[in-house]
Amino acid sequence: MDIRSAVSANVSGILCVGLVCLDIVNVCDQYPREDEDVRAAEQRWEKGGNAANSLAVLAQLGVSCDFHGTVGSGPETEFVLSDMKSYGVGIELCVCHEGKKLPTTTAVVSRENGSRTIVHYRDLPELTVDDFKTKISLHHYKWIHFEGRNVIEVQKMIDAIDDHNKLRSDANEKIKVSLELEKSRPELLSLFHRADVVFVSKDFARYQNCQTAHDAVQQLGPKLRCKAKLVIAWGEMGAYAVEKNTTSELGKFLHSPAYPPLVIVDTLAAGDTFNAAVIYSLFNGNSLHDALTFGCQLAGIKCGQQGQRGIVNKMKQSGRENQTNAK
């Protein structure tokens, strides 16, 4: 498959439910030592948050997509919502809490190796199922992606989607649900069997005592619901995936290598970029293996530049490293 052809379709109907925050990014020549006083080479403000970052990619890929989450008031909120809108992301479904601050992430990006170290602050109320039912018209969407957070409320939101799907006899009218499990929190595992596509981070897998991606597939794969897919990004080792074919059997163990840039510039939001690319590819009917490869390729392009803007154009212009003949 020529990966560049994957961005030619104009699809619609993806909602991402989760976090948007302000990222204050300090770029340093190298990561500071403890108690060291250093000068940043540059500083910038960016929109952040897993859901918001994934939406920035989906919008650049030509998707009509919306954000649903809570925001505060004040200049920080105005900045990030304006930035999301500039990508083409729908922001009308936000739930605003007047007088509250938008969550803030302070990130240190090392020029030496592209690493990013994050400190996050939040006191904003989480999204509730009442917010979801009030704001969201489910018939507008064919795919809804959730960050794994605020577990009880997310369970109720997925219940609402399941009720919607039960009334649809045509599979094409049913909403696909994807879910990201990133943080090392035990309660997240209760969401595992609720989604059609489950993204698991290396940190979450290791928290489940999985030392390798193969361990994670063997341990977590059986917990999938029938016909669901498990996708695991494993850093420089690339990404892995499996589909549960029946209630008891797993399909072929799939792998895509990483596609690192010549120089790693900034790994901030690489995982969110990967998730968005996989969702986009599956949404367009591509195979799980092709989606995995597409995700690794686009994440690699992201790591070779600061920020996410323009990564799709860069991919279109790239050479053979962004093509695959995997079936």
At residue 228's C-alpha, the angle toward residues 226 and 232, to 5°, is: 140
Amino acid 12: pLDDT: 55
Position 83 confidence tier, pLDDT thresholds 50, 70, 90: very high
Mean pLDDT over 11-19 rounds to: 86
Six-digit token pair at 129? 């199922």
Lowest pLDDT segment from 28-32, 38-42, 269-273, 319-323: 319-323
Specify the higher pLDDT residue, 325 or 249: 249
Percent of the chain with pLDDT over 90: 81
What are the tens digits of pLDDT across the range 240-290?
999 998 777 899 999 999 999 999 988 889 999 999 999 999 999 999 999
What are the tens digits of pLDDT across the range 155-169?
999 999 999 999 999
Amino acid 246: pLDDT: 75
SS3 322: helix
- Domains recognised in the chain with CATH numbers: 3-18+50-100+124-322 (3.40.1190.20)
Cβ neighbourhood burial of 102 (10 Å; 0-12, 13-18, 19+): buried
Whole-number average pLDDT of the chain: 91
Amino acid 319: pLDDT: 57
Position 9 confidence tier, pLDDT thresholds 50, 70, 90: very low
Mean pLDDT over 139-148 rounds to: 96
Cβ neighbourhood burial of 204 (10 Å; 0-12, 13-18, 19+): buried
Six-digit token pair at 220? 């977590």
Q: What is the DSSP string of 161-210?
A: HHHHHHT--SGGGSPEEEEEE-S--GGGGGGGGG-SEEEE-HHHHHHTT-
Q: Are 259 and 300 in contact (CB under 8 A)?
A: yes
